[in-house]
Amino acid sequence: MTIDDVLHRLGVDPADLTSAPARHVHREAAARIGRNPCAGCGRPARATGIIDVPGYGHRRLDRCRDCFLATIDLEPSRVPGTIDGIVADLRAAAAEAAVQLTVVIDDKGGRRG
């Protein structure tokens, strides 16, 4: 499913969503919880995220618990499907947190014991 399916189920026009940066900043997201209304029903938001809407760019999607649960199965997965993708995500998170990261992987897939 696509993000368009999520917006359709919630009855949300992407033009009504506020613009957002390309990357999710956790402290900004935490500040939105409970303060911003759900995009679908107007109750206090309990989940927030940044979506990329074709033709609109990055937008903030705040949802209450019920609207989040009603649409979570429609969202495309953002979890990388390869080791290289996972390592790239780890490196980006380490850079954002300003910490040094060393990744050690066993690319043979064997057990050490």
Q: What is the pLDDT of residues 58-102, one digit of tens each?
A: 999 999 999 999 888 766 666 677 888 888 888 888 888 899 988
Q: Give the pLDDT confidence score for residue 113 in this predicted structure.
A: 44
Report d(CA 98, CA 92) in Å as an integer.
10
Q: Which two tokens stand for residue 24?
A: 């999710």
Report d(CA 26, CA 102) in Å as an integer.
22
- pTM of the complete model beyond 0.95: no
